[in-house]
Amino acid sequence: MHRGKRGNPASFRFPYPPLLHTIITMTQPQPTSQNEPADAEATAAALGRIPSGLFVVTWRARENEADATDRAMLASWIMQGGFVPPLITIAVGATRDLLAAIDQCTPFVVNVLGESQRSLVGRFGKPAGPGEDPFAGLAVDRSPSGAAVIPDAIAWLECQAVTQAGGSGGQMGDHVIILARVLAAGTGPEQPPLVHVRKNGLRY
């Protein structure tokens, strides 16, 4: 078993072999005007009332085998996507660096934030610049693949993408939907997850 430095999270790995990384071929997107809701104000209010968690997704970006750097991003559109094998889905903005790592079959870790970790939202809400360490001054543990696990996160899941769809604009949307298999996981302190809703569901 993998155990963090603090010995707190229990962790386990799933015995499933990795699937081939595939991309679903979709139809050509339609003009943007066809994708606008009939009542944008009502749609924004309704979407904003869908509750979501807050998560810090981490991975190791590799220029080559000997050179890897920590990367992180704040995410909210993550949910369970299957039982056997255990799967999650995550919606990623089409311009985010995580997609390049996924294209290289790089595993990533979803850190599930608890209510006591609200201060981390601001820290990871803005991506770190080139050469910046997103975890400067913050001690981290490591997943089996070496990605950062945030101490005191209420849970973490190391995942490998198996397929993706969307993100081409138009009807295909401005986010890429990733389906990923859970390879390893662990739990932390017992506390409620950090959940939020938005006044306007058509923007962050």
Q: What is the pLDDT of residues 32-72, one digit of tens each?
A: 456 677 799 999 999 999 999 999 999 999 876 678 899 99
- Burial zone of 107 (CB within 10 Å; 0-12 exposed, 13-18 middle, 19+ buried): buried
Query: What's the pLDDT score for residue 34?
Result: 62
Beta-bridge partners for 12: 185
Instruction: Give me the pLDDT at residue 18, please.
Output: 47
pTM here is: 0.82
For the chain, which residues score pLDDT lower than 70?
Answer: 1-35, 64-65
pLDDT score of 62: 82
The closest of 104, 112, 18 to 61, measured between CA atoms, is: 104
Given this model, what pLDDT does residue 171 score? Answer: 80
Angstrom CA distances, 37 to 34, 79, 91, stand at 8, 25, 20
Residue 23: per-residue pLDDT: 38
CA distance linking residue 178 with residue 49, whole number of Å: 23
pLDDT recorded at residue 33: 56
H or E stretch including 128?
none
Task: For domain 10-25+32-196, give its CATH number from 2.40.30.10, 3.40.720.10, 3.60.20.40, 2.30.110.10.
Answer: 2.30.110.10
